[in-house]
Structure 1
Amino acid sequence: MKKIIYTDKAPAPIGPYSQGVVNGNILYTSGQIGFDVAKNDLVLDTIENETRTVLNNVKAIVTAAGFTLEDVVKATIFISNMDDFARINAVYADFFNEATAPARECVQVAKLPRNVNVEISVFAIKN
């Protein structure tokens, strides 16, 4: 049965979608951007701070669903500039242990919502 996940520790949806959906033992998150809910503003000063904010939002949804980042099996990263990949990857490594890191892809796109530089979604499985 499908369960909608919502937390006030991540940006509220601005359209007809959910922050996350759990079906059985699988969690799917919507793409998260670098919006800091405490400051009610986008974090765009550096790609590192933006990425950290994105991943904190992802973590908030994962946690609200009763999962952990260790349960994440797949991540999708959209970036506006592939030249930022190494800097994004360095922050990503702070959230995911290399030995147990999820599968992922990183794709450069022409434009992201609200003109951000990075958006990340994940799915997790709880055994």
Structure 2
Amino acid sequence: MISQDDLRKIIVNKDGSQILVKRAEDLGKQLVDERLKSSQIRAIFDEVRQIESLWLQNEQKALHKVYLLKPKLAYRAARSSEGVPTLKDILSRAIDIVVESPAEAKERFRRFTEFFEAILAYHKAYGGRD
């Protein structure tokens, strides 16, 4: 489990790269152990990528979509007992940090996306499959 302090360092601090990589590796391995399917994590990550591209066109709409990620994660977690609840917990807490400061949300979302991308990479590296 990732502490709130570590999540804050990853999302808020510009120099949080080392902790980002370490925690993403730990979580990627844990999600493989919990048998999270690649298709489940990719589906969520695809939504994050769509928000990332929307940010260039309409920041308010993108921020709105970030808020809506939390109920989508809750829905997916309720439908699956393998890995999704763990991912939902971490990402939901990270989203809270992203949106707590609208003025910094764009940069925080960028770091959130990097963190999620690293989780996805480590999940695959440790054998995450469908």
Normalised by the length of structure 1, the TM-score is 0.30
Larger RCO, structures 1/2 (Cα 8 Å, 6+ apart): 2
More strand as a share of residues? 1
More helix as a share of residues? 2
